[in-house]
Structure 1
Amino acid sequence: MIFAQRCVSVAWLVVVAMSMPSRAIAQEVIFIVRHAERVDGSSDAALSAEGEARARTLARHLRDAGVDAIYSTTYRRTLGTAAPLAEVLGLEVRTEPTHDIGTMMNSDPAVGRYVEGLIAQLEDHHGADRVLIVGHANTVPALLTALGHPKSISIGASEYNNLFVVMPGEEGPPTVLRIRF
């Protein structure tokens, strides 16, 4: 029953988000999520069973949201989080090349370069699309800031249930919904 209520709540919020006005020159909606739970703390860990279940839940929540493109980092945990939705929608998961991939998790300049490259891809190839981006506890807040969100976002080490729905504003900062799933 609780799962059904969460599905209805997430579906309702997605419908509301998609009905809000957006700029013609920007993405209609950008969904941003941190990767799901991983098996261990190694640098390129796969998803745990719980993480695989969360990735399938994300796919169920977004399968009817009109996602046109999916972006992920090249880590197994982000690719694994994106895979179920990509499969349902028949989309390829696009990876934005990262510089210094081995040190990205501990390097603000590397995160900045990654975010800049990703935003350039969105601007160049997805002007009016709905896009899902799967990132990390450090790239998600950096991406939200780069997209103009005025509030500082922090994602805890054990938080895997955040879905951010970003709707560009007509003027000023975007509207950002933070949904727990």
Structure 2
Amino acid sequence: MKKILLLLALLILNISFGQQSTTTYYFIRHAEKVDNSQNPDLSEKGLKRAELWNKIFSEISFDKIYSTDYKRTTQTASPTATAKKIQIKLYNPKTLNIESFKKETLGKKVLIVGHSNTTPTFVNQIINQKIYADIEDGTFGNLYMVTVVDNIISYQLLKFE
């Protein structure tokens, strides 16, 4: 409950900076998958987590939602994308040009769904620092929030179970 209140406080702060050029990124890893095959679906637990993310993000007016081109990532993003009536835009972390991405998302609120190794790397690229390591295999509740206000970058990691 404390984490949800903290998240809401951060969102309110984000709204108060609305007059400036504010870009906010929300990074999550895909939810739990059924198995370790090449392109598995989400498990029952993963589907529930995807719905939980949708509830957590219910008060955020996303402008864009990005996902890698895998079932587990698109299925994690889908409840939120459906609720917000936003089409998921696919990205490839191996070929993504970070500067182009920053320009494309300038002034937007953006959800990005990735993987245990790509999500922290992506966050590190956005904040221009190597802070975050790969996510442990059994961890699916990390929410990385990055806010860029006129080139001032702030970032936060919230851990949900």
TM range (shorter): 0.7 to 0.9
Aligned match of 2:60: 65
Equivalence for 1:74: 69
> Could you tell me which residue of structure 1 aligns to residue 145 of structure 2?
165
The aligned residue for residue 88 of structure 1 is 83
In structure 1, the residue matched to 2:95 is 113
Structure 2 counterparts to residues 36-75 of structure 1, below 5 A: 36-75=31-70
Give structure 2 stretches of 5+ with no counterpart. none
CA contact (8 A) 1:11 1:61 kept: no
Residues 19, 157 of structure 1: alpha-carbon distance in 2 compared, 3 angstrom cutoff: farther
Structure 2 length as normaliser, TM-score? Answer: 0.85
Q: Which structure shows the bigger proportion of residues in strand conformation?
A: 2
1:12, CA displacement in angstroms?
2.7
Q: CA deviation at 1:159?
A: 0.8
Establish whether residue 145 from structure 1 lines up as the match of residue 124 from structure 2: yes
CA distance in 1, matches of 2:43, 2:139: 14
SS at structure 2 position matched to 1:78: helix
- For the 8 Å contact 1:32–1:163, the answer to whether it is kept is yes
Identity %: 26
Q: Which residue of 2 aligns with 1:104?
A: none
Describe how 1:128-143 pairs up with structure 2 within 5 A.
Answer: 128-143=107-122
For 2:13, the aligned partner's letter is V
The 5 Å alignment of 1:169-180 reads 169-171=149-151, 174-180=153-159
The aligned residue for residue 27 of structure 2 is 32
Instruction: Give 3-state SS (helix, strand or coil) of 2:155's partner.
Output: strand
Deviations 1:6-43 (A, max 9, x none): 5434323332344458962xx52011111111111112
Aligned-pair CA distance for 1:120: 2.0
Larger mean CA deviation between 131-140 and 148-157 belongs to: 148-157
Tell me which amino acid in the other structure corresponds to 1:81: T
Provide closer, same or farther for how the CA distance between residues 170 and 73 of structure 1 changes in structure 2, counting only shifts above 3 A.
same
Compute the displacement of 1:147 (Å).
0.8
Amino acid at match of 2:111: L
CA deviation vs aligned residue, 1:18-76 (integer Å, no higher than 9, x gap): 4458962xx52011111111111112111111111111111111121111110000000
**Stretches (4+) displaced over 6 A:** none
Q: Does 1:10 align with 2:33?
A: no
CA distance 1:8–1:171, shift in 2 (3 Å): closer
Greater CA deviation, 79-88 or 11-20? Answer: 11-20
String of CA shifts for 1:105-137, please: whole Å, max 9, x gaps.
Answer: xxxxxx4423x2x6524413x321100000011
Helix, strand or coil: the match of 1:160? coil
Provide TM-score, normalisation by structure 1: 0.77
RMSD between superposed Cα atoms in Å: 2.3
